[in-house]
Structures are given as structure tokens and as C-alpha cells.
């Protein structure tokens, strides 16, 4: 059953798998690493254009290491999970400074780099260096759980250990890169989360989930954390044709991205309630201003957050003392700064009526 499983997946990959991607078959550890970091928490269709842009801008790890943070974060804008980008830069610096720009070639060294966990380390080790380490991502978990009828949730400690042990046992150590790519592609193309193609599945004959009518039940999912609502009231404050902007540095969503002055409230407030709030009055205290526009509530869904944002455009007649430390940026230059997706969407809708010099 196990030998049939591994041999059948490799056969399927070589004869029936039409999936082509620029990093498939790649042996350059830098490009493999870059693709894996971009594709964490990101669909291939969304991540592919980013991968191509990164390769064009930073063809090797030395050019990435030498780039400014603002340029890298700007190129990453829209992918979300910005800690990945922060770790991308940290790893580039580590490889250049400690490994003379040569990507380490052992699993423990790769695993020790910032932002690289067991899955990514196994992918780099096997794809770039043909080392016998099994990858265990969502696609792999789904295939294994269905085929072997595994009832443990992969996001628990016991589940992770079980799937890692099983994946390692099944790995074809003579061709680890081929096997790892095959099982991941099989999960993406055949053993899909919804509407799996069981009718053309080459391993259906021994699949326990198919035999027992449990395909939709597997893999088992543990209880997910509750989604928290957050209410952001952005003040798009202009002074002499420029906008106030600051960098989010706290350990929160959108760390290392720029945003407009923000008043976060516990619940949704109307435009009138916002203008009458103590936080707003304190922010604009002593400054003459006029309110130009309020947007409707905009929404953005994150993994464990729902963001509800309203943008209020304000023209100040004098500098705003409460915003000391913020930078002033012309509207035409906002594209030079990495911004949260919800702000980019507002800018693309041309909500701003600011006169730009």
C-alpha cells in the first residue's frame, strides 16, 4: 500500500501532471527559497506575479540584501503577512554576511535561517540539494489524511509529528525532489480541498477516505481561533499639498507598512461621532482645518481579523503639532511607500481630491 502510493504519485507526475511553474525543477536555492516564502499563505495564482517581479528586481541574494527595506516592502505590498518580508530581508543579510552570499546546503543550517520552518527547509534541501527530507504542507496533509484515513488534526503537536513521520516514511529517498513535487502537485490538482477528482485518481483503489465515504471529512480540522473585528478611522490630513504618513512599527498587523493617522475605536462610529470624539479633538487641537470628505465603511478580511475602515479627508491650515514625527508626502509620491491593501484600494478609487503641486 505504501510502495504503491509513492510509485503511483511519481508515475502520475511524470506522465499526467500538466502543472508548470517557473520554480518547478529549479535547482537554485535562492529562487526556491524566494518562491516558498512568497507562497506561504498565498495561492500560486496570486504569488506568481510577485515571484516574477522579485526575480526581475533582485536576481540573486546579494542584490536583495543590498536593497533598501522600503523598496522590498513596496514590491511585497498586497501579499500580506508582512513578517514574511521582514524575514526575507533578515535571511538575505544572514546569508551574505555569514555564508559569503552562498546559500547553506544542509538542513540544520537552512532551518536556522529567519522565517524558515521545517516545511520550507525540507523544500529547499530536497529541491536544491536532493537531500532526503519530506515536505509537509497543506496539500501533503490532505493527500496523506485521505489516503491513510488519518483522524488527527495537522495543526496540533501530535498531528504535526504524525504527519511528519508518515511523510518521511513514504519519501522516495532516491529522488526526494521528484517525490516531494509530485505529492504537492497531486494535492493541488487531484486531491483538492473541494470537489476532489476522485473519478480520475490513480490511487483511489487504496484510498481509505474514498472507501469509507469520508473524503469531505478529511483532513480533520481543529477549532480555529475566533475572528476579531477592528474599526479603523483613518484621517487623511493634508497640509500645503502634502499628506501626513507614518510607519507602523508596533507588533501588530501591517508592521513596517505606512499609513495615515489612525483613530481605532472599539466599535463602528459615524462620521459625526468621530469628529466629536476626544481623540479627534486632541489630534487637531489648536489647528484650523476643514473636512473635505468621508468615505463609506471599507472592509478587508485578514486571517484572524476583519478590518472596517473609514477615511476622512481633512485639509489643515497649519502644521499639526500632534503629528510630530510623521512624514509629509506628496500624493504623487505615495506609490513609493508600502501601504496596507485597504489604503491602496482607496487610493485606486481616487477618493482623494487633493491638489498636488
Q: Please identify every residue annotated as catalytic.
A: 36
Query: If we measure between CA atoms, which residue out of 205, 209, 221 comes closest to residue 143?
Result: 209
Radius of gyration of the chain (CA): 25
Q: Regarding beta strands 258-259 and 262-265, do their DSSP bridges make them parallel or antiparallel, or are they unpaired?
A: unpaired
Residues 6+ apart with CB under 8 A from 51: 22, 23, 34, 35, 38
CA distance 125 to 110: 8
CA distance 311 to 328: 18
What string of DSSP letters covers 145-168?
HHHHT--S-TTSHHHHHHHHHHHH
What string of DSSP letters covers 294-337?
EPPPEEEE-SSEEEEEEEEEEEESS--GGGTT-EEEEGGGGGGS
Q: Give yes or no for a contact between 296 and 312, defined as CB atoms under 8 angstroms apart.
A: no
Residues in the chain, how many? Answer: 357
Amino acid at each position: 500500500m505504501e510502495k504503491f502510493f509513492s510509485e503511483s504519485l511519481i508515475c502520475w507526475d511524470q506522465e499526467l501532471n500538466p502543472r508548470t511553474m517557473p520554480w518547478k525543477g529549479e535547482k537554485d536555492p535562492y529562487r526556491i527559497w524566494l518562491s516558498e516564502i512568497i507562497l506561504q499563505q498565498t495561492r500560486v495564482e496570486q504569488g506568481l506575479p510577485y515571484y516574477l517581479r522579485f526575480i526581475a528586481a533582485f536576481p540573486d541574494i546579494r542584490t536583495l540584501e543590498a536593497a533598501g527595506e522600503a523598496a522590498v516592502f513596496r514590491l511585497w505590498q498586497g501579499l500580506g503577512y508582512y513578517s514574511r518580508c521582514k524575514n526575507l530581508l533578515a535571511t538575505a543579510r544572514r546569508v551574505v554576511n555569514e555564508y559569503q552570499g552562498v546559500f547553506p546546503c544542509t538542513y540544520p543550517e537552512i532551518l536556522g535561517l529567519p522565517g524558515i520552518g521545517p516545511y520550507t527547509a525540507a523544500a529547499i534541501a530536497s529541491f536544491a540539494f536532493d537531500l532526503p527530507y519530506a515536505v509537509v504542507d497543506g496539500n501533503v496533509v490532505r493527500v496523506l489524511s485521505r489516503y491513510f484515513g488519518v483522524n488527527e488534526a495537522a495543526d496540533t503537536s501530535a498531528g504535526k509529528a504524525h504527519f511528519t513521520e508518515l511523510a518521511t516514511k513514504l519519501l522516495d529517498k532516491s529522488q526526494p525532489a521528484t517525490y516531494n513535487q509530485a505529492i504537492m502537485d497531486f494535492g493541488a490538482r487531484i486531491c483538492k480541498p473541494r470537489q476532489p477528482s476522485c473519478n480520475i485518481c490513480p490511487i483511489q483503489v487504496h484510498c481509505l477516505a474514498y472507501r469509507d465515504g469520508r473524503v469531505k471529512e478529511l483532513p480533520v480540522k481543529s477549532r480555529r481561533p475566533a475572528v476579531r473585528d477592528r474599526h479603523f478611522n483613518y484621517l487623511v490630513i493634508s497640509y500645503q499639498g502634502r499628506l501626513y504618513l507614518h510607519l507602523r512599527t508596533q507588533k501588530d498587523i501591517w508592521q513596517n507598512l505606512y499609513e495615515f493617522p489612525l483613530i481605532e475605536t472599539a466599535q463602528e462610529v459615524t462620521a459625526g461621532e468621530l469628529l466629536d470624539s476626544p481623540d479627534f479633538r486632541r489630534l487637531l487641537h489648536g489647528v484650523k482645518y476643514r473636512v473635505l470628505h468621508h468615505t463609506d465603511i471599507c472592509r478587508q478580511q485578514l486571517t484572524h481579523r476583519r478590518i472596517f475602515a473609514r477615511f476622512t479627508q481633512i485639509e489643515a491650515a497649519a502644521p499639526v503639532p500632534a503629528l510630530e514625527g510623521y512624514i509629509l508626502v506628496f500624493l504623487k509620491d505615495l506609490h513609493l511607500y508600502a501601504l496596507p491593501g485597504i489604503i491602496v484600494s482607496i487610493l485606486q478609487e481616487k477618493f482623494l481630491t487633493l491638489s498636488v503641486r
